[in-house]
Amino acid sequence: MKISVIGAGTVGATTVQRLAEQELAHHIVLIDILEGIPQGKALDMMESAPIGGWDANIVGTNQYDEATDSDIVVITAGLPRKPGMSRDDLLTKNAAIVRSVTEKAAEAAPDAMLIVVSNPLDAMAYVALRTSGFEPRKVLGMAGILDAARFRCFIARELDVSVQDVTAFVLGGHGDTMVPLPRCSTVAGIPLPELLPGETIARLVERTRSGGAEIVGLLKTGSAYYAPSAAVVSMIESIVRDRKRILPCAAYLQGEYGLRDLFFGVPVKLGQNGAEEIIQIPLTPEEQQALNRSAEHVRANLARLDL
């Protein structure tokens, strides 16, 4: 297994470290346009291998020839948010970056799967699909796992319980219009509405929607990377080991949930063939309306791009 990660910033580098520590690939490539940055980070990580006890080989480079025949390519390249910015503020500049790196990645690794992390996520996954010409099942966006993890974290802290007993369900675009579903979220199998009052749930839902902005506001010079990298690696683990886990990801919809020709956060069965199945669940009229509003926001972003 060979995995290439494009973008040696905090998300990309942390993703590589997690991949190596979990030994999900024997050969890992870290690519960035900045001379010395991927090389230095790769060497630093390799020097931690004797301590961590893993044997993956990490190569840092500014060239895409090292990515030749990669099985999976992760795209984290792009500008990060600054305080006061929304993910959508990055749209035009990051679209150009994602288009460029996707062209190079697709040429080097035409049989790879693409996992997009760059924001605004749903639009960038669409750019990667159109640019690469890959089958839709082989292009995914990381979003729902991160959003659900934030929701789970806040629920567990509110109830003072282990996060391992909390499941959370989040649909829709990765942004302010995401659609957390409290009725499908549970604690040890108990539906969330039976454990918390409506106003508390509403507060946790709103904090989930603004979870990324909260971190950007605190860091001031960067955005989240520990949780996003963990989310990417959970997707890769399910693909590499053919676990067929049902994980919320941005997948290309072709009629599911009444939506077509866009990337959107939905439950996806992830296995060795990529997005092997999109799981559809019945929604209440209110949930479907919220989902449609989120889809309209994603489409508005796509309309601003020349695709």
Cα angle: 160, vertex 158, 289; to 5 degrees: 140
**Assigned token pair, 242:** 């053919």
Secondary element (H or E) of residue 102: helix 91-108
Q: For residue 228, is the peptide bond before it cis, meaning its omega torsion is within 30 degrees of 0?
A: no
CA distances from 235 to 7, 123, 292 (A): 18, 19, 26
User: How many CA atoms within 13 Å lie on the side-chain side of 160?
Assistant: 0
**Active-site entry in 26, 27, 174, 297:** 174
Q: Known catalytic residue: 174?
A: yes
Neighbours of 165 (CB within 10 A): 15
Q: Is-contact 299 262, C-beta < 8 A?
A: yes
Q: Is-contact 41 33, C-beta < 8 A?
A: no
Question: Which of 129, 122, 72 has its CA nearest to residue 103?
Answer: 129
Secondary element (H or E) of residue 61: strand 57-61
Residues serving a catalytic function are: 174
